[in-house]
């Protein structure tokens, strides 16, 4: 099965539960294919959790949700060894991180110590408990949600943690037509807790995903595309509006994401538009503006758009 065909089947099934958010669905699929994690940001009620649950169901992957709270401990995420008095020995009790799709809900509501418990899992696909390393299932992808308007009682993600996310996807309100469709579906009996009742089918499996990733690896990237990516990423380091620019990891993320996006759109080669389209989702969480730029009312997306548009597009 080609990646474009698989993407179309996934989109059709997800649409049975999630109305609108087409761009977010496509980018989430890009993350699955590129083996990257996703940071979802949007006000409550925009179907962030439903989107991730539905994608997991359609891809037939184990899904686990953690509600991040101020009192959550690292052992609540990765697990711990518990003493069994009957066996007179310690037994491993794995935490919710041992899953294929982990939804870290409101990740910025837990202290940095607990946030950091995910770092090893996200980078190494393993968890260390009492000095012993345990591999995580294939695939392993983290979707973390943030609320952009409630900052009281939150702990902003450290730059090193944000850098582990392939994409930061912003979810916006649906169009009037889409919101009316949501109301109509609810009236007709749709409930997000029962995806199967809505007719959402499993169309792919873990082994299918492994094969699709091999197709992504074979997507061609010309030398001028590499140079284009470098110019975009490096431009953030020389901008007078930027305090901290994007690191080389942003360039790696752009290569991986652009290859997956090209395959989803039925191409075996990357074009500049793939890079340009993913530049903001890849870099908006890796760049820190200078206070002077923020005072002037500039946003990260505004600055990045200007920097991307200023680059010469290869032909």
Residue-wise pLDDT tens digits, 229-244: 999 999 999 888 888 8
pLDDT of amino acid 93: 86
Question: What is the SS3 assignment for 20?
Answer: coil
Tokens of 253: 């993320």
Confidence grade of residue 258 (pLDDT, cut at 50, 70, 90): very high
- Put residue 21 in one of left, alpha, beta given phi > 0 → left and psi -120 to 50 → alpha: left
Other C-beta atoms closer than 10 Å to the C-beta of 266 total 12
Residue 83 pLDDT greater than 80, yes or no: no
Q: Tell me which range, 40-44, 141-145, 292-296, is most confidently predicted by mean pLDDT.
A: 141-145
Range with the poorest average pLDDT among 23-37, 49-63, 137-151, 295-309: 137-151
Of the chain, the percentage scoring pLDDT greater than 70 comes to: 98
Range with the poorest average pLDDT among 40-49, 221-230, 301-310: 40-49
pTM: 0.90
Spatial CA neighbour of 49 closest among 25, 70, 65, 27: 65
Confidence grade of residue 153 (pLDDT, cut at 50, 70, 90): low
Spatial CA neighbour of 56 closest among 96, 75, 88, 29: 29
Q: What is the DSSP code string of 223-258? A: HHHHHHHHHHHHHHHH-TTEEE---HHHHHHHHHHH
pLDDT of amino acid 31: 95
Calpha distance 240→310 (Å, rounded)? 14
Q: Residue written as tokens 């389209």? A: 277
Residues 174-185 have pLDDT tens digits of: 889 999 998 998
The hierarchical CATH code for the domain 3-213 is 3.40.50.300
Confidence grade of residue 150 (pLDDT, cut at 50, 70, 90): low
- CATH level 3 topology of 219-309: Helicase, Ruva Protein; domain 3 (1.10.8)
pLDDT of amino acid 86: 74
pLDDT of amino acid 151: 60
What are the residue ranges of CATH 1.10.8.80 in the chain? 219-309
Q: Tell me which range, 16-25, 52-61, 104-113, is most confidently predicted by mean pLDDT.
A: 52-61
pLDDT of amino acid 237: 92
Question: What is the SS3 assignment for 118?
Answer: helix
Residues 93-116 have pLDDT tens digits of: 888 999 999 999 988 888 888 888
């Amino acid at each position: 099965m080609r990646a474009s065909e698989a993407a179309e089947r996934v989109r059709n099934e997800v649409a049975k539960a999630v109305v609108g958010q087409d761009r977010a669905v496509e980018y989430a699929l890009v993350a699955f294919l590129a083996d990257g994690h996703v940071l979802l940001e949007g006000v409550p009620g925009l179907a962030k959790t439903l989107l991730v649950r539905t994608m997991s169901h359609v891809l037939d992957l184990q899904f686990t949700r953690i509600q991040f709270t101020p009192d959550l401990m690292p052992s609540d995420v990765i697990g711990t060894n518990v003493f069994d008095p009957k066996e007179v020995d310690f037994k491993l009790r794995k935490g919710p991180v041992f899953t294929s799709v982990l939804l870290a809900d409101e990740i910025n509501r837990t202290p940095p110590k607990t946030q950091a418990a995910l770092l090893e899992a996200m980078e190494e696909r393993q968890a260390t408990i009492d000095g012993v390393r345990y591999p995580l299932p294939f695939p392993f992808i983290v979707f973390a949600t943030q609320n952009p308007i409630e900052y009281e009682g939150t702990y902003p993600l450290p730059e090193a943690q944000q850098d582990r996310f392939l994409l930061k996807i912003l979810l916006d309100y649906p169009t009037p037509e889409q919101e009316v469709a949501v109301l109509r579906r609810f009236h007709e009996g749709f409930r997000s807790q029962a995806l199967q009742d809505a007719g959402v089918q499993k169309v792919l499996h873990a082994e299918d995903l492994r094969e699709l990733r091999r197709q992504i690896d074979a997507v061609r990237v010309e030398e001028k595309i590499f140079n284009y990516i470098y110019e975009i990423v490096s431009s953030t380091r020389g901008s007078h509006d930027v305090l901290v620019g994007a690191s080389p990891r942003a360039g790696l993320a752009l290569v991986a994401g652009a290859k997956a996006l090209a395959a989803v759109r039925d191409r075996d080669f990357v074009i500049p538009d793939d890079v340009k389209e993913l530049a903001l989702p890849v870099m908006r969480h890796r760049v820190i503006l200078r206070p002077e730029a923020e005072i002037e009312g500039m946003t990260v997306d505004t600055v990045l758009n200007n920097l991307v548009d200023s680059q010469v597009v290869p032909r």
